[in-house]
């Protein structure tokens, strides 16, 4: 995790600065002024011969300047050459070759002149050259013969190009030449071998030149090497030798320099350029190169080593980099030193470049032209392109070396002066005009600008202005106070106000006032200070396995008035957010991390004013790459050495290697693990078995997982031998009552030891000790037939191949097949332990009747009936097992108060024997199970209704129910109350003692044995803490007592009365009452006969509304449908809906006949009655 500083351009963008601090004041273009060159081509202008030539020259002035050119110091008449034209309103030359012509004919030195009535400005002298990429001369190169260990230089000698080509070496098949400290390319393009080795003949060497402008590559004919050696051995056998040179018989020798020659040389470099020093040495072993500077250290900030330390580069050299440098080449045989004397010269460079001079009539001024160089440059002044000596004499002008002094200037003094300073290494040319004006102050920037800056930053407020004489500029804040200068403020010559560290109190309105003798002008700038953008929770470096999910956090704090943008980079490039990534405001989540996700991630939080960024690195752990290049060496009869090259560990160290083998005789194509080795090795000796055609592969393992297997090695077959072991897991078991099947685990390829592996099977009766029976088997089983029932046999299985027999085998005991038992247990006795368990006792059968191995005694029992006559029972048979030869056991988990029957058998490996005599027994009463569907209802705040169903398993004759309940309020408990009920009672209504407390109810059923399992429920919460499921009950209980509801009911009743009166009057007149014409609401359910929307009035309409009565306690009866009710008799105990909830206990009971007569009617509330009339 690292916080990165924003690049410098971000701070520069924040600064609102339209003029350079050191720049001269510009004359507005609406005022008269001499020409100024604004754009020109470089001094050394190299062009592509395939394109048109463009020589740039642009200038500004008022009036607009005209242009002309010189070529090689002579006037260049553009009108006479049809290929040459000048762009409109510009001095840029265009030379067109589309209609023919040679670009080389236009090479030379060009200079542009821009002129108006106030003077002439000059461009640099532009040297035009056409780029060249000459062809390489064809030549036949003989093979280069060289002794092994000797130095060698392959010269490139590229054709001269303009600019110089880029040189690189490749083989003729375009494969790059591998370079190291022994073989490398010099700065001159030659290829140097510090010592030649036999392996250098494995390729050829071709020098290539790439030309910049034509984008072409030219290839020289390739060199081939012939290396002479005195060593007769193959090079590959010595490549890993600890002392390769001595092993090959190459004589070791001290270093000597191949480039530069000798022990000393000198080099000149120009100031500001790069200094490149190079030392290439030969020797055996290959020398190391080190660099030093005499009398001091190398400049660490500018020096860097290149080309395997053979080159030293010092960038942007200055005079202090002059001196003596030396390179030291050393190996174990000695060392040698080469000294390079470096001289730094300098083309002219500016100390004080002349600047435009703007004066008022009568003012004094000066132009200064100071430059330095080595050797010291000369200064030449010109005016309007002519030498100052040749210009008309001006009494108001005085030349003093590098300075021109103007006194009491007048309008006629306007001109453009040129200063040319030069030495043998180059020149500098500068234009500076003198303009004489009378202009009152004016502001050049828009008025009332808004500038937003970041807290604690350095910023500048610009106030570009002009006037002549040059005005004095002062700054004020919020229209009051003294001039701002000093302390945290600084005013530059061009009028910019710098605030060194912005604070909140610096926010406000700043006024700049420019004043000269002709007047004054002012402008205002409003400054707003914003909080900086900061990442306060940065992403952290993470290590993740492939396929997992990674989240990189990036939480930002910024000024709320600025829009924040968060972007992510990966490896400093914009990150593409694919479907495996999710970018949120404060995080980046990567799902299913893959190897390509590894890298550095940068979070950039930016506003339009600033930014902050933080970086973290994600390391992805993956399974290792497969090992490669398997090789078998040290081949022996029973061992071999396997060597491999490890694959990439993918950031998780390899912990183990698993070597697997495959053989092509017993299980071709099936791989088996052979051995395991630590991850630090890549070679191992493998122990082998006889007569196996081996093929090996290697799997690498790290913390993440296993690699793909390597490609298989070559095959290796070992010689044969007799087996050294016999098959395992030999067994003899009967599959029928008169046979015995002998089986074993077949031996694998590594234990066969020879061809035609087979098995000698022997057996005999154990008791009789008869002679051995034997047979040779090629498979893994043999069946012995016609055996007595379940007798023991001695068995032996011996391995044999074409080389001989295996060792003497062990004897195992097997048995022939079993038959069903002939006898059943006798004298079965049953003793009842309790209502759910019994004990059994029986006489065991004789061993000779079992006819096999006795596995268990087994009891089969079933429930014949319940002592409760109305209760239906399942007669499904169940069983209880008693392993081994035992005479007793326990049967549990029986049903109480039931009649059972039971039978017993003996069981061997073949199955059940005959059944014993059927026994009967009865279980006594037990305690009942819990009551079913225990429900607690609270219809109002005064009562609680309890309801339940009979237990699913009475386990006897029910004697009643016991209810225990206790009131509680928070953690306070009241006194427990116990209620006992008859067995037929399944409901209870309790009067609440207070409306605040809740109740906990515990209900259980009883038999004569005692109370059974209890069930517990709690009453609903009071209104102030009611849960959503109970809230509706309380709302219904309270709604009828509300004032608004009573008023509504009265209004409805009045409306119904009025409607009935109107209907009665209409009926008495014998007409029809068109409902749809008189009411806005639509009709309710329509009779199919009444399609015209009206009905006949009859006395039946005076009947009371069915089901609209209110409950006795004031609640409204809910809608109910007869087909979802269950009647519980004439007792008036209420009705239940299908889910068992209690309804209707507090409503008037209608007669059964009335209910039956209204089966299709719908009970509605008074509110719904209005819609029934519609």
Secondary structure of residue 1035 in the 3-state scheme:
helix
Report the half-sphere exposure of 653 (CA within 13 A, side-chain side).
5
> Is the pLDDT at 236 greater than 80, yes or no?
no
Q: In 392-541, which residue ranges form alpha helices assigned H by DSSP?
A: none
Beta bridge partner(s), residue 86: 93
What average pLDDT does this structure show over 648-658?
94
**What is the pLDDT, as a whole number, of residue 1111?**
36
> Is the pLDDT at 5 greater than 60, yes or no?
no
486 or 828, which is more confident: 828
pLDDT band at 162 (very low <50, low <70, confident <90, very high): confident
User: Average pLDDT, whole number, for the chain?
Assistant: 85
What average pLDDT does this structure show over 386-404?
89
Beta bridge partner(s), residue 66: 115
Distance of CA 378 to the CA centre of its chain: 65
Neighbours of 890 (CB within 10 A): 12
pLDDT tens string 546-575: 899 999 999 999 999 999 999 999 999 999
Nearest-angstrom CA–CA distance, 648 and 631: 19
pLDDT band at 1086 (very low <50, low <70, confident <90, very high): very low
What average pLDDT does this structure show over 659-688?
94
What average pLDDT does this structure show over 22-46?
85
Task: Collect all residues with Cβ–Cβ distance below 8 Å to 322 and sequence separation of at least 6.
Answer: 342, 343, 344
Give the pTM: 0.52
Among candidate residues 694, 690, 758, the one with its CA nearest the CA of residue 724: 690
What average pLDDT does this structure show over 76-88?
92
Q: Which residue has the tokens 């990534």?
A: 581
DSSP-assigned letter for residue 923? -
**What is the pLDDT, as a whole number, of residue 412?**
83
What average pLDDT does this structure show over 268-290?
95
Beta bridge partner(s), residue 631: 643
366 or 214, which is more confident: 366
**What is the pLDDT, as a whole number, of residue 493?**
83
> Is the pLDDT at 964 greater than 70, yes or no?
yes
> Is the pLDDT at 1025 greater than 60, yes or no?
no
**What is the pLDDT, as a whole number, of residue 887?**
96
**What is the pLDDT, as a whole number, of residue 3?**
52
Nearest-angstrom CA–CA distance, 309 and 288: 8
> Is the pLDDT at 95 greater than 60, yes or no?
yes
Beta bridge partner(s), residue 268: 343
879 or 23, which is more confident: 879
pLDDT band at 1006 (very low <50, low <70, confident <90, very high): very high
Residue 1004 tokens read as 């259980």
Secondary structure of residue 1053 in the 3-state scheme:
helix
What average pLDDT does this structure show over 453-471?
92
Nearest-angstrom CA–CA distance, 66 and 60: 10
Query: Do 375 and 412 touch, CB atoms closer than 8 A?
Result: no
pLDDT tens string 699-751: 999 999 999 999 999 999 999 999 999 999 999 999 999 999 999 999 988 89
Nearest-angstrom CA–CA distance, 766 and 775: 18
Residue 76 tokens read as 């260049």
Query: Do 324 and 342 touch, CB atoms closer than 8 A?
Result: yes
**What is the pLDDT, as a whole number, of residue 1041?**
55
Beta bridge partner(s), residue 1094: 1074
* Phi, then psi, of 1124 in degrees rounded to 5: -115, 20
Greatest extent of the chain over all pairs of C-alpha atoms, in Å: 156
Among candidate residues 739, 737, 632, the one with its CA nearest the CA of residue 693: 632
1039 or 1152, which is more confident: 1039
Nearest-angstrom CA–CA distance, 338 and 326: 5
* Phi, then psi, of 664 in degrees rounded to 5: -105, 20
pLDDT tens string 50-65: 889 999 999 999 999 9
- Beta-strand (E) ranges in 202-299? 206-211, 216-219, 225-228, 253-259, 264-270, 275-278, 280-284, 288-293
> Is the pLDDT at 167 greater than 80, yes or no?
yes
Nearest-angstrom CA–CA distance, 1128 and 986: 12
Alpha-carbon distances of 90 from 39, 40, 61, 385, 1118, rounded to whole Å: 10, 11, 12, 19, 97
Domains belonging to the chain, first-starting first, are 33-130 (2.60.40.10), 140-233 (2.60.40.10), 353-436 (2.60.40.10), 441-530 (2.60.40.10), 534-618 (2.60.40.10), 628-717 (2.60.40.10), 728-815 (2.60.40.10), 826-922 (2.60.40.10), 932-1039 (2.60.40.10), 1043-1173 (no CATH)
pLDDT tens string 763-792: 999 988 789 999 999 999 999 999 999 999
pLDDT tens string 284-309: 999 999 999 999 899 989 999 999 99
pLDDT band at 1023 (very low <50, low <70, confident <90, very high): low
Q: Residue 795, exposed/middle/buried by CB under 10 A (0-12, 13-18, 19+)?
A: buried
Query: Do 411 and 361 touch, CB atoms closer than 8 A?
Result: yes
Out of 104-118, 138-152, 236-250, 346-360, which region has the weakest mean confidence (pLDDT)? 236-250
* Phi, then psi, of 537 in degrees rounded to 5: -130, 105
Out of 109-123, 237-251, 497-511, 1137-1151, which region has the weakest mean confidence (pLDDT)? 1137-1151
> Is the pLDDT at 396 greater than 80, yes or no?
yes
Residue 686 tokens read as 């493998």
What average pLDDT does this structure show over 231-236?
49
Secondary structure of residue 1169 in the 3-state scheme:
helix
Q: What is the CA radius of gyration of the chain?
A: 56
DSSP-assigned letter for residue 157? -
**What is the pLDDT, as a whole number, of residue 230?**
74
> Is the pLDDT at 1098 greater than 50, yes or no?
no
**What is the pLDDT, as a whole number, of residue 2?**
53
Query: Do 893 and 879 touch, CB atoms closer than 8 A?
Result: no
Q: Residue 214, exposed/middle/buried by CB under 10 A (0-12, 13-18, 19+)?
A: middle
**What is the pLDDT, as a whole number, of residue 481?**
65
Helix pair 1166-1173, 1043-1068: axis angle to 10 deg:
30
**What is the pLDDT, as a whole number, of residue 246?**
56
What average pLDDT does this structure show over 429-439?
94
Residue 1098 tokens read as 């009859």
DSSP-assigned letter for residue 51? S
Nearest-angstrom CA–CA distance, 249 and 251: 6
> Is the pLDDT at 247 greater than 60, yes or no?
no
Task: Collect all residues with Cβ–Cβ distance below 8 Å to 467 and sequence separation of at least 6.
Answer: 439, 440, 441, 442, 514, 516, 518, 521
315 or 749, which is more confident: 315
Query: Do 912 and 881 touch, CB atoms closer than 8 A?
Result: no
pLDDT band at 245 (very low <50, low <70, confident <90, very high): low
Nearest-angstrom CA–CA distance, 686 and 699: 15
| DSSP letters for 506-551 | G-EEEEEEEEETTEEEEEEEEEEEEPPPEEEE----EEEETTS-EE
**What is the pLDDT, as a whole number, of residue 460?**
92
Pairing of strands 144-147, 225-228: parallel
**What is the pLDDT, as a whole number, of residue 237?**
41
Pairing of strands 693-702, 716-717: antiparallel
> Is the pLDDT at 1 greater than 70, yes or no?
no
Query: Do 793 and 817 touch, CB atoms closer than 8 A?
Result: no
**What is the pLDDT, as a whole number, of residue 1139?**
38
> Is the pLDDT at 15 greater than 70, yes or no?
no
- Beta-strand (E) ranges in 778-931? 781-785, 792-801, 804-805, 812-815, 826-832, 838-843, 854-866, 878-883, 888-891, 898-908, 919-922
Nearest-angstrom CA–CA distance, 1120 and 1072: 34
Pairing of strands 357-359, 426-436: parallel
pLDDT band at 1040 (very low <50, low <70, confident <90, very high): low
Distance of CA 1103 to the CA centre of its chain: 77
pLDDT band at 807 (very low <50, low <70, confident <90, very high): very high
Q: Residue 829, exposed/middle/buried by CB under 10 A (0-12, 13-18, 19+)?
A: exposed
Distance of CA 44 to the CA centre of its chain: 51
> Is the pLDDT at 1087 greater than 80, yes or no?
no
pLDDT tens string 967-989: 998 778 889 999 999 999 999 99
Order of strands, sheet of 654-663, starting from the edge strand that comes earlier in the sequence: 672-678, 654-663, 693-702, 716-717
What average pLDDT does this structure show over 114-118?
94
Q: What share of the chain is helix, strand, coil (3-state, %, to 5)?
A: 10, 45, 45
Query: Do 413 and 434 touch, CB atoms closer than 8 A?
Result: yes
What average pLDDT does this structure show over 599-603?
96
pLDDT tens string 846-885: 999 999 999 999 999 999 999 988 888 889 999 999 999 9
> Is the pLDDT at 379 greater than 90, yes or no?
yes
Report the half-sphere exposure of 174 (CA within 13 A, side-chain side).
2
pLDDT band at 13 (very low <50, low <70, confident <90, very high): very low
What average pLDDT does this structure show over 214-237?
75
């Amino acid at each position: 995790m690292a916080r990165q500083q924003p690049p410098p351009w971000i701070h520069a963008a924040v600064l609102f600065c339209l003029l350079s601090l050191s720049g001269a004041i510009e004359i507005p273009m609406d005022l008269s002024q001499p020409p100024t060159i604004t754009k020109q081509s470089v001094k050394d202008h190299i062009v592509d011969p395939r394109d048109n030539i463009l020589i740039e020259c642009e200038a500004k002035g008022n009036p607009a300047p005209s242009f002309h050119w010189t070529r090689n110091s002579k006037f260049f008449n553009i009108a006479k050459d049809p290929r040459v034209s000048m762009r409109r309103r510009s001095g840029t030359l265009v030379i067109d070759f589309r209609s023919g012509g040679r670009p080389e004919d236009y090479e030379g030195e060009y200079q542009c002149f821009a002129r108006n009535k106030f003077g002439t400005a000059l461009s640099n002298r532009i040297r035009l050259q056409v780029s060249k990429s000459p062809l390489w001369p064809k030549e036949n190169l003989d093979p280069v013969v060289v002794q092994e260990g000797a130095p060698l230089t392959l010269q490139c000698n590229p054709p001269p190009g303009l600019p110089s080509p880029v040189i690189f070496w490749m083989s003729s098949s375009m494969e790059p030449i591998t370079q190291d400290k022994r073989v490398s390319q010099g700065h001159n393009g030659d290829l140097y071998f510090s010592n030649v080795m036999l392996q250098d003949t494995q390729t050829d060497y071709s020098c290539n030149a790439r030309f910049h402008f034509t984008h072409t590559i030219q290839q020289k004919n390739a060199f081939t090497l012939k290396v002479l050696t005195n060593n007769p051995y193959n090079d590959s056998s010595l490549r890993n030798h600890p002392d390769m040179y001595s092993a090959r018989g190459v004589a070791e020798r001290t270093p000597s320099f191949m480039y530069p020659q000798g022990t000393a040389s000198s080099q000149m470099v120009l100031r500001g350029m790069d200094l490149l020093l190079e030392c290439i040495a030969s020797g055996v072993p290959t020398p190391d190169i080190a660099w030093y500077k005499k009398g001091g250290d190398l400049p660490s900030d500018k020096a860097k080593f290149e080309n395997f330390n053979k080159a030293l580069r010092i960038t942007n050299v200055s005079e202090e980099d002059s001196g003596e440098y030396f390179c030291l080449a050393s190996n174990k045989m000695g060392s040698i030193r080469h000294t390079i004397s470096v001289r730094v010269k300098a083309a002219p460079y500016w100390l004080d470049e002349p600047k435009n001079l703007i004066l008022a009539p009568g003012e004094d001024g000066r132009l200064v032209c100071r430059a330095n160089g080595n050797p010291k440059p000369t200064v030449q002044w010109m005016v309007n392109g002519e030498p100052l000596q040749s210009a008309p004499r001006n009494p108001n002008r005085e030349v003093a070396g590098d300075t021109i002094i103007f006194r009491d200037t007048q309008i006629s003094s306007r001109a453009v002066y040129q200063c040319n300073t030069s030495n043998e290494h180059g020149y500098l040319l500068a234009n500076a005009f003198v303009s004489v004006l009378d202009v009152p102050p004016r502001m050049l920037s828009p008025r009332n600008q808004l500038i937003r800056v970041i807290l604690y930053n350095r910023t500048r407020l610009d106030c570009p202005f002009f006037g002549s004489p040059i005005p004095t500029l002062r700054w004020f804040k919020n229209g009051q106070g003294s001039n701002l200068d000093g302390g945290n403020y600084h005013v530059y010559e061009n009028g910019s106000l710098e605030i060194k560290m912005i604070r909140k109190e610096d926010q406000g309105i700043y006024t700049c006032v420019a004043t000269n003798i002709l007047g004054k002008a002012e402008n205002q700038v409003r400054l707003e200070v914003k909080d900086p953008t900061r990442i306060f929770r940065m992403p952290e470096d993470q290590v993740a396995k492939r396929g997992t999910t990674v989240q990189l956090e990036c939480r930002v704090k910024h000024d709320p008035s600025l829009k924040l943008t968060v972007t992510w980079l990966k490896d400093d490039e914009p990150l593409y957010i694919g479907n495996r990534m999710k970018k949120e405001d404060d995080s980046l989540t990567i799902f299913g991390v893959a190897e390509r996700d590894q890298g550095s991630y940068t979070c950039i939080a930016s506003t339009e004013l600033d930014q902050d960024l933080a970086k973290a690195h994600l390391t992805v752990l993956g399974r290792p790459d497969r090992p490669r290049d398997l090789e078998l060496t040290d081949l022996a009869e029973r061992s071999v050495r396997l060597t491999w090259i490890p694959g990439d560990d993918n950031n998780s160290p390899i912990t183990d290697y698993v070597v697997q083998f495959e053989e092509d005789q017993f299980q071709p194509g099936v791989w088996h693990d052979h051995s395991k080795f630590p991850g630090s090795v890549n070679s191992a000796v493998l122990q082998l078995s006889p007569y196996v055609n081996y093929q090996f592969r290697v799997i690498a393992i790290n913390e993440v997982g296993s690699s793909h297997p390597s490609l298989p090695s070559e095959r290796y077959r070992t010689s044969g031998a007799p087996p050294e072991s016999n098959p395992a897991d030999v067994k003899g078991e009967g599959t029928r009552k008169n046979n015995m099947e002998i089986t074993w685990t077949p031996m694998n390829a590594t234990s066969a030891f020879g061809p035609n592996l087979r098995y000698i099977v022997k057996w005999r009766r154990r008791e009789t000790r008869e002679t051995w029976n034997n047979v040779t088997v090629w498979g893994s089983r043999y069946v012995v037939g016609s055996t007595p029932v379940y007798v023991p046999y001695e068995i032996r299985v011996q391995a044999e191949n074409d080389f001989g027999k295996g060792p003497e085998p062990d004897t195992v005991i097997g048995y022939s097949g079993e038959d069903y038992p002939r006898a059943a247990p006798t004298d079965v006795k049953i003793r009842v332990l309790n209502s759910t368990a019994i004990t059994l006792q029986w006489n065991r059968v004789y061993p000779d009747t079992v006819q096999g191995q006795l596995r268990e005694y087994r009891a089969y029992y079933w429930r014949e009936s319940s002592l409760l006559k109305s209760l239906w029972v399942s007669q499904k048979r169940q069983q209880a097992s008693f392993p081994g030869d035992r005479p007793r056991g326990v049967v549990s988990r029986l049903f109480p108060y039931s009649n059972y029957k039971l039978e017993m058998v003996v069981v061997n490996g073949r199955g059940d024997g005959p059944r014993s005599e059927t026994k009967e027994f009865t279980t006594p009463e037990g305690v009942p199970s819990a009551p079913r569907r225990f429900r607690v209802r609270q219809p109002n705040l005064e009562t609680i209704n309890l309801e339940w169903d009979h237990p699913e398993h009475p386990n006897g004759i029910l004697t009643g129910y016991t209810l225990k309940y206790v009131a509680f309020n928070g953690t306070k408990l009241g006194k427990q109350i116990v209620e006992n009920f008859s067995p037929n009672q399944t409901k209870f209504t309790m009067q609440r003692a207070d409306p605040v407390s809740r109740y906990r109810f515990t209900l259980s059923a009883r038999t004569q044995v005692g109370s059974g399992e209890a069930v517990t429920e709690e009453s609903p919460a009071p209104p102030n803490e009611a849960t959503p499921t109970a809230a509706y009950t309380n709302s219904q209980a309270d709604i009828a007592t509300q004032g608004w509801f009573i008023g509504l009911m009265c209004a409805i009743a009045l409306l119904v009365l009025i409607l009935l009166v109107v209907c009665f009057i209409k009926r008495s007149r014998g007409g029809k009452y068109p409902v749809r014409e008189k009411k806005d609401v639509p009709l309710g359910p329509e009779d199919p006969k009444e399609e015209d929307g009206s009905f006949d009035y009859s006395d039946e309409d005076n009947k009371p509304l069915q089901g609209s009565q209110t409950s006795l306690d004031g609640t409204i009866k809910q809608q109910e449908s007869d087909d979802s009710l269950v009647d519980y008799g004439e007792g008036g105990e209420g009705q239940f809906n299908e889910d068992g909830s209690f309804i209707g206990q507090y409503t008037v009971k209608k007669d059964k006949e009335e209910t039956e007569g209204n089966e299709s009617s719908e009970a509605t509330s008074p509110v719904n009655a209005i819609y029934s009339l519609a």
